[in-house]
Structures are given as C-alpha cells and as structure tokens.
Amino acid sequence: VQLQASGGGLVQPGGSLRLSCAASGYFLSINARGWYRQAPGKERELVATLSNREGATYADFAKGRFTISRDVAENLVYLQMSSLKPEDTAVYYCHFRPSVAPGMYSDYWGRGTLVTVSS
C-alpha cells in the first residue's frame, strides 16, 4: 500500500489549505484514515481521524477549524484547514488502516507534506 499526500505549502495566518492523500495498492477495504502532524522539536500528534465505525474524531485544536472527509471510490482522504495559525506549522502525515486480509489490518503512513503558516 502506498500513500501519496499533497496540498501543503505556505499560507498566511487566517488562510485555508486543503490536504489530500491517496491510497493505492492492494487491500480489501479501508477501516480508518486520518491526519497527524509533527512540528519542529515536538512529537507527532493526532489532528483528525475518520473511521468506518466511529466516524470523525478531532484534536481539540482542530475542532471548528479543520474538517476531515473522504472519497471512498477513489481511496482519498482530505483535510480542509481554515483559520490557520502560525502554531499549525508542521509536517502533516496521512494515515490509513486498510484491511489486507479478512480480519487483518495494517497501518500505513504517507511521507508528509509541509504546511507553513506565516506572514
């Protein structure tokens, strides 16, 4: 399974960006997908996840500003970010948990896309 993320870049405070991540390769289905981020000098943290069973979950800092969504047919996950702040500057990683065999799940990570919020 390969993941390809895109959509990062430089944006001014208060601006918006949409990240995309596409999964390709062999799998039966995708159980969950999400976004994490890692700022310089900090640990990777959850931004948002979207699972088939539990729906969408957001970190507190993302609530009301970020929206996670998916395109099931195209195995895509999106992260719409608005009202961006300098503290949102980080490398954003997409994550998928596909079923590779009945009852078996594996975790896959994209390489990351840099989001820089600065004036």
| Predicted pLDDT of residue 37 | 98
Task: Provide the pLDDT for residue 29.
Answer: 87
Amino acid type, 12? Q
Query: How far is the C-alpha of 79 from the C-alpha of 66, rounded, in Å?
Result: 7
Q: What is the mean pLDDT of each run of 10 residues along the chain (119 residues)?
A: 94 97 90 95 97 94 97 89 98 94 91 96
Q: Which pLDDT does position 22 carry in this prediction?
A: 94
